[in-house]
Amino acid sequence: MNPLQAVFNIAEICARHGITDVILSPGSRSAPLTLAFARHPAYQGLLRVVPDERAAAFIGLGIAQATRRPVVLVCTSGTAGLNYAPAVAEAFFQQIPLLILTADRPPEWIDQLDGQTIRQRNLYGAHAKGTFDFPADTSHADAKWHAERIINEAINLTLAGPAGPVHVNVPLREPFYPKAGEEVAYEASVKIIRDEHATTTLPPGEILDLRRRLRDAGQVLVVAGQQAGQASLTAALYEFAAVRQLPVVADSIANLQDVPAVRRQDIFLAGLSKEQKESLKPDLLITFGQSLISKALKLFLREASPAQHWHLQASGEAADTFRSLTRVIRVAPTVFFQQLTASETKDYNRAESLGPGYFLSLREAQKVTEDTALAESPDAPAAPSLTWQQADSLAANFLARFFAAEGQPFNEFSAMQRALASLPEGTALHLANSMAVRYANIIGLPEGKQVAVFANRGTSGIDGCTSTAVGAALAQPERPVVLLTGDVAFFYDRNAFWHNYPAPNLRVVLFNNHGGGIFRLIDGPRQQPELDEFFETHQALTAENLCRDFKLRYLPVSSFAELEAALPVFFAAESGAAVLEIFTDSKTNAAFFEEYRTAVKQAFS
């Protein structure tokens, strides 16, 4: 038997499991893995080669975010695998399935001063769901069985709830390459193990207990964290909130655009007094999803100390983000909302008999209440019994007036508002970390455009934001993919474009203030005399040369008039991949954002 047969069979097993996306980074030690995929019939025309392993891993992450299917990463030995680490950590905390295959020296040559060799076993530590050591010698039948079992287990583990990255370290001995004319064969009898994941539902007794506690809880608040958009979840939550008349609070990354949710918590929670916030405190908090962007919301909920906090999570370790967790409910959020809504037989059956318009009428009734409150007090809440919906409406009106005011200097906050309003229908919107994701969460998304939001908020790093968006564009070429990013994140990840795969559907809106402008906007660094040199770290780069190198259209703007003229051209579907570089002044940005903060406090005082 060919000594590399078990390695070649890795590609066969991946193909049988339906994996279609593989990112290869060139190397010699990884040649058997590369050839296994390159010569497999199922992967002809599908493989992608990305030389920079850090960019490769984030591109793979972006593909997996878009498809919710495992993506395979293949690299050579040594520090190549270490360069995957930032994306592996992001995938772990965001629960994105990745299968990482790292070539390695055989175990007897580790720590023997051999070239391109590090300690690769358990390379990603606590940031991988699992790690496997592929056998170095597979000549024995038991070893071959073990090798096939490992790959099956690793693939199944990437998808087992919660999904995440899994590492397989593959030690390889020379020769790495077949002889001239030698074919790579794939065994039809290769072992396949499938793991069918069961759908968990709530038992009747638990439903009755949850209903009773909901009924007796007092004020209930539902808060959604980061998650992929799901039509079934949206429908179930919509009905649950409507039937029970409960407020739902959602950051932009919760992807609940079709649910009538509170979305401007960043605004009003920053402006309301302690006394005004009292009426918003929940007795029962129900949460689901992952992280929140809104620091104001996190601080509010930690201080609120609800008597009960239920978190909906089918599997995996549950975080106690708000220091109030009392119950982890082990079902998918969709199942929880469906079962708890269906259990409300009286209200639910009446709603069913009245048809889908019943839920709309509930929302309309709620809107009347909000409009009445606005008419009585257009600028700030006067009544002590402020509701979440009223506060959200007040914040929406405030924001519209704030951006409509004349005489604004050209600044990135206002430019972001105009860019968001111009997004094409059905956009996959990627938000880079630092200020881009924060601005977007304050401003909100355009209504009715079915925008899905992605952001690397698992670790909140800037290191792979561009590569992740590139991966999304490659995964879904028929969909507009828009990245909103700052200059530090963009230039840090410029190798996102260093490959041979066009992404004509990609648009990058680059806010260039020539430094880490966020440090002028947050308390702490902005008060320090070392701000300019050691925090903001000025840079003089523009994207013009990068766009020339990678054949991207380049549109620079530095005024509102230029921006308004460029946006329709930039977003035109037929115009191809492009970078819209918006030049602003960091000090002007900071001064304008301080005006916004002051205006918020005045409006809600």
263 token code pair: 């979305």
393 token code pair: 């409406």
- Range in 80-89, 114-123, 173-182, 276-285 with the lowest mean pLDDT: 173-182
The residues facing 453 across adjacent strands are: 429
Q: For the chain, which domains are there?
A: 5-171 (3.40.50.970), 204-385 (3.40.50.1220), 405-603 (3.40.50.970)
- The mean pLDDT value for 430-444 works out to 95
Q: Cα–Cα distance between 219 and 283 in angstroms, integer?
A: 5
Q: Cα–Cα distance between 178 and 34 in angstroms, integer?
A: 12
Tell me, what DSSP letter sits at residue 91? Answer: H
User: Whose structure tokens read 């947050």?
Assistant: 522
- Residue 197: per-residue pLDDT: 77
Mean per-residue pLDDT of the chain: 90
Tell me, what DSSP letter sits at residue 179? Answer: P
- Residue 380: per-residue pLDDT: 45
- The mean pLDDT value for 176-189 works out to 86
Q: What is the pLDDT of residues 318-363, one digit of tens each?
A: 999 999 999 999 999 999 999 999 866 444 444 444 444 433 333 4
Using alpha carbons, list the distances in angstroms from residue 19 to 30, 89, 170, 472, 605: 19, 21, 19, 16, 55
- The mean pLDDT value for 103-124 works out to 90
Q: Are 40 and 216 in contact (CB under 8 A)?
A: no
Q: What is the pLDDT of residues 289-316, one digit of tens each?
A: 999 999 999 999 999 999 999 999 999 9
CA dihedral 89, 439, 325, 94 (to 10 degrees): -20
Judged against a pLDDT cut of 60, whether residue 367 lies above it is answered with no
Q: Cα–Cα distance between 544 and 581 in angstroms, integer?
A: 9
- Residue 516: per-residue pLDDT: 67
Tell me, what DSSP letter sits at residue 45? Answer: T
Q: How many residues does the chain have?
A: 605
- Residue 53: per-residue pLDDT: 98
334 token code pair: 């969709």
Judged against a pLDDT cut of 90, whether residue 2 lies above it is answered with no
Local confidence band at 283 (pLDDT 50, 70, 90 cut-offs): very high
- The mean pLDDT value for 187-214 works out to 92
Which residues in 374-480 belong to E strands, given as ranges?
428-431, 452-455
177 token code pair: 């390459």
Q: Cα–Cα distance between 255 and 560 in angstroms, integer?
A: 29
CA dihedral 289, 293, 294, 300 (to 10 degrees): 50
- Residue 605: per-residue pLDDT: 78
Judged against a pLDDT cut of 90, whether residue 199 lies above it is answered with no
Q: What is the pLDDT of residues 225-262, one digit of tens each?
A: 999 999 999 999 999 999 999 999 999 999 999 999 99
